[in-house]
Structure 1
Amino acid sequence: MHKSRMAVVVIDCKSDDLDREMEFWAEALGRRREADPIDPKYRDLKGPASEARVLLQSVDHPPRVHLDIETDDIPAEVERLTGLGANVVGDCKGWVVMEAPSGHRFCVVAPQRPDFEENANMWM
């Protein structure tokens, strides 16, 4: 058995100024800006703990939005999603990039939100 759920909406930004992108999306979504980013490639837009995270990511590919599915067992979740028709695209920094049958990319990641244990779906 393992748990998973949708955790993060990732806005992939092909931009030389991620802070400018953060300003726009923070205002557009009514989110607070990350005060001191730890990694220059990412900006976290703070919102209510009950809502999915919104993360901006600097990328080299065309801009798009993708979802992160958080899980306590990445291999088991990848197997479950593959069984539903998804394909593995590759591994990246400890998470797995996948593609849905529709062609949409998404990532399978370790737990990201503090209420994961009590609110994730249980799979057998």
Structure 2
Amino acid sequence: MDIALVLLAVSALIGAATGLRCKAFVLVPIALLIALVSAAVLRVSGFGTGGGIVVIIGCLVLNQATYLLIQIGGLGYGDSNPSSDDVFDDVPRSGREQAVNDNYGHYNKRAPSRSSFPPEI
């Protein structure tokens, strides 16, 4: 039973590490690796078929649940969630500043726009 808890804990840690560093498509090879390694370890440890399958499914679910929790928590890959960040949609948000503050605390106004060339007569 101790080996099952170790496998579950390692699967959760792998899910957390994957959530912090990788994108979702990496979960497929990791899930395959977790399933194969868990099956081999459980077989060597003398687990039966039914108990081994339950532990492997638990490892896979825990791995992906941990990955998902890391991603939802905003700690995941790129630290950017497009659904919660301000995205560029060509619509300025209200209350934005029109000038840029330089190093000395002065506001620099945007340069006036140039006239079209050739000048209209």
Which protein is bigger by CA-based radius of gyration? 2
Higher helix share: 2
Higher strand share: 1
Give the TM-score range, shorter chain: under 0.3
TM-score normalised per structure 2: 0.24
TM-score normalised per structure 1: 0.23
